[in-house]
Amino acid sequence: MRDIRLIAKREYLEQVRGKAFKITTILIPVIFAVVIAISVLAGKYSGSGEHFVVAANNATLAEDVRAQLLTDKDANLKVDVVAPAAASDRQQLIDQVSQKQIDGYLWLTQDASSGKTTAIYAGRSSGDFTTAGRLSDSLDKAILQQQLTGHGVAATDAATLTKGVKIKTRQVRDGKEMDSSTLGTFIAAYVMAFLLTFTVMMYGMNVGRSVIQEKTSRIFEVMLSTVEPKNMLAGKLIGIGAVGLTQLAIWAAAAGIFSTTALAASVMTGDFQIHISIPEIILFAVYFLLGYALYSTLFAGLAATCESEQELQQYAPLAAVPVWLSFSMITFIMSNPNSFWSVVVSLFPPCAPIAMFLRIASQFPPMWQIALSLVLLLLSVVFVVWFSSRIYRIGILMYGKRATIPEMLRWLRYS
């Protein structure tokens, strides 16, 4: 025990004092904030500042559409009206688009007798969904208002009627109804799952790298003459795992402090209300530890068979497969948290930490499923520890070349 403690302490101090720890501790949250900010802002301001022309044979309709388009303050559009428009105007508009004087034009034709409207949008880019959505939305509302006023409804009433209702989502938790939002929940789950994956992988690789470094620097030969290999491995895993927990704790504390600030209050309203409960935090730590134990022992075993860090890197894609599998199912799991495949993926040990965490964030799964996934994860950790410690014991003493799979199998039998 004393050996394990000493080795864990050394490993912990070396990593925590290292540059990489400081850089990742600061940089990861910054990158997260920037990525989220960019994706939110990009969605909001996509297609903003564009210059359109609304051309219609009916001047009132054109003015109404223009008014609707201008209500979206974020979009900051510039809209001109050509009405009543004749066929000759169309060629002029086409020329304006191709000369880049305007970004596009909406050509409306309203049949005077039936009131039926046909609309054509032509612009330089055809794939701009945000613009298409905005135009169609504005046109619908304008026509609806026009028809309502045509049927004798007062203009202000017509505006109220067409305004539309925004659904406010709330989530039932612990028998209470709480403010929540689908977007906020999604981002929270996504961020936590990403953090979990990222830290598990990063610290798993760290263990592998640390083993390789001891092997290439030959320090293990001195160490093994006093310490048993299993204690050396255990100390390393505990030390580096503690570094991971420290980093997560720093982030959690920083997030906690941030959430009390005025800036957070302004950002976290409306769509961004996020609730992270205590059980979620505990489960996050548990899944981190088990996921870390699984991947780090695997990397430790593989690293012992390699001669250099470059060789170890070749194994990285192998470990990335479950991660990609979990992430490719992220939208599926979020929208169908209790479907058969979501359950299967969240029980499968290599995927469990990420997939189960996504389920927890969207809809708390039955207790037995969480328990089962933890048990399965624990069993696979035991198996990987058994496998890796054998490989490690022998592999670390071998120099010269990378072990082949048949050699590794012989080592398993041998030790």
Partner 1 sequence: MAAVVELDRISKSYENKIAVKDLSFRIDAGTMFGLLGPNGAGKTSTIRMMVGITMPDSGTVNLLGKPFTRESLKNVGYLPEERGLYKKMKVMDQLIFMGQLRGLDPATAGRRSHDWCERLQILDAADKKTEELSKGMQQKIQFIATLLHDPALIIMDEPFSGLDPVNTTLLQDTLVDLKKKGRAILFSTHRMDQVEKLCDAICLVNRGEGVLSGGMREVKSRYERNHVIIDFEGDNAFLNHPAIAEYKDYSSHVDIRLKPHADAQSLLHAAAEKAAIYRFELIEPSLEEIFIKTVGEKVDA
Rounded CA-CA distance 181/35 in Å is: 20
Q: Nearer Cβ to partner 1, position 228 or 271?
A: 228
Residue type at position 100: K
CB of residue 20 to partner 1, shortest distance in Å: 11
Q: Nearer Cβ to partner 1, position 17 or 151?
A: 17
Tokens of 7: 């080795």
Q: Nearer Cβ to partner 1, position 169 or 415?
A: 415
Rounded CA-CA distance 130/119 in Å is: 17
Positions touching partner 1 (CB under 8 A) are: 3, 6-7, 10, 14, 18, 213-214, 217-228, 397, 410
Q: Nearer Cβ to partner 1, position 5 or 78?
A: 5
The helix (run of H) or strand (run of E) holding residue 321 is helix 316-328
Q: How far is CA 356 from CA 14, 283, 379, in A?
A: 33, 10, 17
Rounded CA-CA distance 285/176 in Å is: 25
CB of residue 240 to partner 1, shortest distance in Å: 14
CB of residue 216 to partner 1, shortest distance in Å: 9
Q: Nearer Cβ to partner 1, position 223 or 347?
A: 223
DSSP readout, 35-77?
HHHHHHHHHHHTTTT-EEEEEESSHHHHHHHHHHHHH-TTT--
CB of residue 238 to partner 1, shortest distance in Å: 16
- State the greatest distance between any 2 C-alpha atoms of the chain, in Å, as a whole number: 98
Rounded CA-CA distance 77/47 in Å is: 8
The helix (run of H) or strand (run of E) holding residue 173 is strand 170-173
CB of residue 356 to partner 1, shortest distance in Å: 36
Give the torsion through C-alpha atoms of 305, 8, 293, 361, to 10 deg: -140
Q: Nearer Cβ to partner 1, position 130 or 216?
A: 216
CB of residue 18 to partner 1, shortest distance in Å: 7
